[in-house]
A and B are shown apart, each in its own frame.
Chain A
Amino acid sequence: DSGVTQTPKHLITATGQRVTLRCSPRSGDLSVYWYQQSLDQGLQFLIQYYNGEERAKGNILERFSAQQFPDLHSELNLSSLELGDSALYFCASSVDIYSGANVLTFGAGSRLTVL
């Protein structure tokens, strides 16, 4: 267990629908990152939050949005879903305030299937 919790593990939905993916970072980590990984593809950075504020944006579609709440958990909202949105979505957290090591710790991912 990495300490980063993602729910749901699996999600099957239809085109045009909206889903919300949830992430709880490791205790003490202030930053949350979202990544998308399509089948046999590399990790695509979507967005980063630090202590509730958006810090950086990657290749995130306008149909997607995210936020980080005061308790540091984060949600990724995906709307008007298309078949091509089927992928693994990973959350990762960083900035261990106790050790200072700036490395990413990933959750187990949410597998989204759009039919």
Chain B
Amino acid sequence: QKEVEQDPGPLSVPEGAIVSLNCTYSNSAFQYFMWYRQYSRKGPELLMYTYSSGNKEDGRFTAQVDKSSKYISLFIRDSQPSDSATYLCAMTTGNQFYFGTGTSLTVIP
């Protein structure tokens, strides 16, 4: 079983839609949970991170962590064409980082 599972998509939504991206994991020792956005052939950009459980909001982005279900989500409100990218979840026990394979998102104008 992989440490982190992420649906690769692709996901295609109309502009203005709410997007939900999800990852599941198996290691209950994970402490930090991160979401990265990667445009084609560019470096992954850290969008948000949360420590332990709960929600965190930053503008149109909300990150949720449910440690009891080992499930994390990223919600994008009022999605824009500029949000079209691959979204990677990542988590760490403190030293090693584990990445999902990424979900490809396209927002159609």
User: Chain A: residues with CB nearer than 8 A to chain B?
Assistant: 2, 4, 33, 42-43, 45, 48, 55-56, 88, 90, 94, 101-109, 111
Contact = CB atoms under 8 A, between A and B. Distances in A.
A56 B101 contact: no
Contact of B96 (A56, A90, A106): A56
A2 B43 contact: yes
A43 B88 contact: yes
Contacts, number: 53
Given A103-B46, A108-B43, A43 B95 contact: no
Given A48-B95, A104-B97, A106-B44, 10 more contacts: A43-B99, A48-B96, A94-B97, A102-B31, A103-B32, A103-B92, A104-B90, A105-B46, A106-B43, A109-B41
Nearest to A45: B97
Interface of B: 31-32, 34, 36, 41-46, 49, 51, 88, 90, 92, 94-97, 99-102
